[in-house]
Each structure stands twice: as structure tokens, then as C-alpha cells.
Amino acid sequence: MTKRMPQRLAAAAAVLLAATTACTAGHETARPAPHHAHQDSERPASPGAGGGPAAQRGFTLVATGDVLPHTSVIERAHQDAHGRGYDFRPMLAAVKPLVSHADLAICHMETVYGANGGPYTGWPTFKSPPQVAAALAATGYDSCSAASNHTLDAGSAGIRRTLGALDAAGIAHTGSGRTAAESARPAWLKGGSAKVAQLAYTYDTNGIPAPEGQPWAVHLIDERQIVADARAARKAGADVVVVSIHWGTEWQDAPNDQQLSLGRALTASKTAGRPDIDLILGTHAHIPQAYEKVNGTWIIYGMGDQIAGEMFNPTGAQDDRGNESSIGRFTFAPPAKKGGRWTVAKAEFVPQWMNLRTGRVVLCLPGGRPRSPGYCPVAGAIRKAVLSRGAAADGLTMARS
């Protein structure tokens, strides 16, 4: 297990002090209001809502997998922009209703962005068009995890460009930072009446060292640090703590030993009898992995790739599983009494597929017919992977809409 550099500990302590005294949230640069903020008054009462103005309101949280624009994906976005820039919105149009309807939507930005005008590159060192951020915002995402093995592909400049573009699009982010203070902060979000903190970590950066003097540039997996960060977020006012983790073995549908042991440890961690972490969202394996309820907390070991080009497995063979993924949807209900845990009242998943022929993400909902635009031939395989560790027995269901 990779250890975090010690310099970040001091930065985290300083930021926690500032957070607890000033109660600030978000990033250093100003962002537009969250995408769903204007919808609150129009949304029907969420599960757990009661009467009276002070009643707490539950919320739905949607999470999706790796956004990994290969060269073919970049070229498709250029075509969709009719040769004038890059437009990734059509790729995500099918998932927009589900994502935008959720109270809180979280994505995973696997790559960093290049400069305006390019050049843009795919594998092995990615530099994506910054227009990806605008498309994610238009789809309805509120926050993205930004810690992956590709976070340092373009050094600190890549991080600056990526976080700057996400800021400009109004999307919160966590897992990397332009300053020590920014890196030490979670993404602060709002779901119903809950204050939500998102944290993010990666297993490695493909061997690329942190920029000189910036050991905090990207968060590496460290069990003790993750727990410390979660407890700091809770102390700073988080009702719900969500941890995004880039982990696992590529092309392996079963969680590896690190995923299993770290998942058990993180979900077992408690403060005054209350779990420190409320949900774990996994990425990296390129293919769908299982959902599991461990120590009373839901873990998605791996959601798979939401956006990716043609994928090749370790044998060198093109592998369609690299374009399969799942969407997790969790309905959180308020605690029965103040200071209690927000609980997942409903856990669902939606199979998702990137159709390389059309260059579009497809929702695999019941009723699709062969040769129809929404037909998804891989729904059964995704469902099998998602339920492979018995999540159905704990109430996980496949959403029908």
C-alpha cells in the first residue's frame, strides 16, 4: 500500500482548523451554483422528509465510472462539433435524464486536460480537450473525483488545467490540487438537507513522481490517511462522507485483495459508534465489478468505463467489456435523531454501455429491442458482475427507470 507524503498531514491540519472556524466550503476559485440547487423547490419530498420547515430531507446520489477519452473518442467529439472544437454532450445525452434528475451526481475524471487548442492525446499519456468538463456539467454532474493513475500525465500543468476547467463548468472536484490547501479539502456538496463531503484517492500514478515540492498534488491510497480525512470532514460538519477510490486489478471482474481488505477496514472504522465513511465508489478496473454491503456500508468495487474508445486487454485482444459499466444510485434517508447516521434506504444500479459504432453511451433499461437506438446487448453480463458478491440479498436492485 502506497503511503502519503508526510507534508500533507500538516497541510490537512491547517485546513481543518480553518474549516472548523470559518465553515468554508468548495474551492478557492468561485464556482457557479450547483446544477441541482435550483431544482430543490420543484422536487417532491424525498424519503424521510417530515412536516415543518426544519424537517430534514433525504436525497438520491448517482455515481458513474471512468471518463477515459481515447483518441477515437476525441475524434468523435470533434465530428459532433462539426469540426469546430469538441462536443462531448451527444455522447452522454442518453444518461442525462437519470443523472440530472438525481439530487447529487458524481463522476470520475480519469484524465487531465490539455491546453485550449491542443494538442490532445489518448493512451498512454492522456491530455483531453477541456470541453469534457462542459459536457459533464451539461449532463448534470455536480462533482468529479480527480485522482487516478493518469493524474500526473501532464504534471502540475495538467492538474491546473483540469481543475480550472471543472471550476469554470461549476463542477466540484477532489483527489488532486493546485495548492496544499486545496488538496487537503474535500469536495463539499449538498444533497437534500445533508452536507456531503467527497474524498478521492488512487493506488498509483503509473510511476510518475509528484511534482517537485508538491507531494500533495494527488492523493495516494493510505488507509490511515483516508480515515483521518473522513473524520476531519465529519468534524467539519459532513453528514455523509463519500470516498472515491481508484483501485483494483485491470480487466479482473473480482475485487482483488487490496480492495477487499481496505474495503473491510474503511467500513469498520467508527467514531463514537458512528461509521466514518458512508459510501465507497470504486473505479479503475475498466470492467464492471461487484457491489457489496460490508459492515453496513455499500461498496462499489468498480463501475467500469463510462466513456472509452476501443479497449484491449492484457493479451492484446480487443475486449468489449472495456465499454461496459454500471451506474450506482443510492437513496439516503435522514437519521431518526440528531447526530445519527444517514442511511441508504434504497440501493440500485443501472447497466450502461458505450456503443463504439455510434459513439454514444447507452442506458441498458428494460424494454430495449435489437436494432433500436437504446438497445444494449450486454445488460445481462453487467448485471451478473454487479450481483456477483450477493448484493441482491442486501436489497440491491436493477433500476427500471
Residue-level pLDDT at 367: 59
Distance CA 194, CA 242 (A): 12
Residue-level pLDDT at 373: 58
Q: 294: how many CB neighbours lie within 10 A of its CB?
A: 17
Q: Which residues are within 8 A (CB) of 128 and not within 5 positions of it... i.e. 6 or more apart?
A: 69, 74, 111, 112, 113, 114, 120
Say if residue 107's pLDDT is above 50.
yes
pLDDT tens per residue, range 298-317? 999 999 999 999 999 999 99
Residue-level pLDDT at 39: 36
pLDDT tens per residue, range 188-200? 999 999 999 999 9
pLDDT tens per residue, range 357-394? 999 999 997 655 665 656 788 999 999 999 999 999 99
Percent of the residues in the chain that have a pLDDT greater than 90, as a whole number: 82
Cell of 116: 485550449
Cα three-residue angle 43-332-102, rounded to 5 degrees: 40
Q: 383: how many CB neighbours lie within 10 A of its CB?
A: 17
CB 35 within 8 A of CB 208: no
CB 63 within 8 A of CB 106: yes
User: Which residue carries 435550483 as its cell?
Assistant: 38
Domains along the sequence of the chain with CATH: 8-15+58-398 (3.60.21.10)
Tell me the pairing of strands 324-333 and 360-363: unpaired
Percent of the residues in the chain that have a pLDDT greater than 70, as a whole number: 84
- Which of 41-55, 62-76, 222-236 has the lowest average pLDDT? 41-55
Cell of 253: 471482474
Distance CA 218, CA 215 (A): 7
Distance CA 85, CA 253 (A): 36
Say if residue 85's pLDDT is above 60.
yes
29 or 369: which carries more pLDDT confidence?
369
- Which parts of 248-387 fold into alpha helices (H)? 257-268, 379-386
CB 386 within 8 A of CB 288: yes
Q: 205: how many CB neighbours lie within 10 A of its CB?
A: 21
333 or 372: which carries more pLDDT confidence?
333
Q: Which of 115, 141, 143 is nearest to 128 (CA)?
A: 115
